[in-house]
Structure 1
């Protein structure tokens, strides 16, 4: 599953567009190395979530509606085209 999201907002006083791409991947905990992230200084925490935990959390998790996206993917097993997120 691939999902795309974009949002216009001010960055340093200038109009900018932020585009994010989210990918669903199955990996083991041993395969995750935050220090090897493209911006490791921005990684404050990482953790594994079940779909039930995503639905129940009071925290803001991006993309919004992630639990529904994952559930839909798991039910269909694939998407032909990337999902474009709005909002």
Structure 2
């Protein structure tokens, strides 16, 4: 495990992560910090806790939308593969 520090909303947060995850963790922390900053600029009169909740809800919404889109694409790909497999099976039967 490696000790690193990430900065979110101006606060340094110490973390212990696997060496292979250092860059990914820093990238994710940067993404979260950027999202918090966007909400802080839009709702400057709100406390940090409200900003964090709104940003987390926004991140979760993006995650859910991406998962739904991926699921739909996987269903479509699966149907296409089933159709191709069916056609190939028909062709093999015709050849045999």
TM-score, structure 2 as length reference = 0.24
Q: Who wins on radius of gyration, i.e. which is larger?
A: 2
TM-score scaled by length of structure 1 = 0.25
- Structure having greater relative contact order (Cα 8 Å, sep ≥ 6): 1
